[in-house]
Amino acid sequence: MEEAMRRHFFNHGEQGTEAEKKDCHWCQIRGFATHSQFPITIVNNVDDTMIQPNFRFMERSIRAKDIEPTRKEFLSGCECKNGRDCQYNTCTCLQDVDDDSTDEDEHENGHEGSSRKKAYAYHTHSPKTGQLRSKVLASRAPIYECHESCACDRRCPNRVVERGRKVPLQIFRTENNRGWGVRCTVDIKKGQFIDKYMGEIITEKEANRRRAHSHFAQRKDVYLFALDKFSDPESYDERLRGPPLEVDGEFVSGPTRFINHSCDPNLRIFARVGDHADKHIHDLAFFAIRDIPRGEELTFDYVDGVDDSDMDALDPNKQKDMARCLCGSKNCRGYLW
């Protein structure tokens, strides 16, 4: 790893190294728009292992060639003039959100008696601005945000995920045989947005094909996430009636691809929707579910929300075919799936 870093820092500014730079992980992350303010770093103080050379860092998900984008005539955004308009008038981005003002910050913004109750997922007028409200954080409800097609500007309080990652992340080699992990070099507050899970968006058929061709199918499942939050066999949208798309981050992704599992996690993934016509390709957004001091490893539960009351892990005959959990937490379930 030291040699590769030396090549990057001392050679990749020269002409004639374009092909090498294309495959250089440090060059890839330095090309991120947020690199100067919120850098991603890679460190290994444990062994000589490097991130697999056929992996590529990307700032956003990419669609497979057979995944057609939503036609422009079906895309739409709110007509709100500003963030206050979004929150207190009839913002179309929040049309699927129940009116609600029962959270602990009910009167934080001083607009009691307004024509509309608070529906934002986020705190908006307090030191917690931009953090998920406790009621949302404790749920697994989807997050609806304003987006690039909306009339409100990027300062709208309902564009937290839309504005992107605002924390520096470090990919590091773990010391307990769990491969790579991720930590943050600054303190993180409960409810704070970390980053999205990114990868190649593919069909369920292609995902199954990749599982079948993987040397270890259970390992492949670590990188595949089904976009099934809005799947409904009775939906008017044929894209939601059929098999959900999946995101494969094994070979193309961002830093969150290296976040490890824990049975006692400090992050949770939420489905985030921008344009309602794109529910079938919603974002997967990581948020902190408690305060996280800098340097603590970031983790999430790979099977969050799955009922484990009838766990196969309790059956010795099935354990041999299951993926063993290495999180080491006090309430470790022993197996992932």
**Bridge partners of 285?**
196, 270
Around Cβ 215, how many Cβ atoms within 10 Å?
6
CA-to-CA distance for 64 and 55, rounded, in angstroms?
17
The token duo for 98 is 């129940």
| Phi, psi of 161, rounded to the nearest 5 degrees | -70, -35
Which amino acid is present at 308?
A: D
DSSP string across 76-122? -----SSHHHHHHTT-GGGTTSPP---STTTTTTS-TT-SS----SB
User: Would you name the residues annotated as active-site residues?
Assistant: 197, 302
Q: What is the DSSP string of 279-302?
A: GGG-EEEEEESS-B-TTSBPEE-T
Q: Which residues contact 286 (CB under 8 A, 6 or more apart)?
A: 193, 194, 195, 196, 197, 256, 259, 267, 268, 269, 270, 298, 300
Handedness of CA 84, 85, 90, 92 (dihedral sign): negative
What Cα–Cα distance (Å) separates residue 88 from each residue in 70, 111, 135, 192?
Answer: 29, 9, 19, 23
Interacting residues of 117 by C-beta distance below 8 A, sequence separation 6+:
99, 100, 101
**Beta carbons of 160 and 283 less than 8 angstroms apart:** no
The neighbouring-strand residues paired with 297 are 183
User: 209 vs 72, 250, 333, CA distance in Å?
Assistant: 31, 14, 29
Q: Return the SS3 of 335.
A: strand
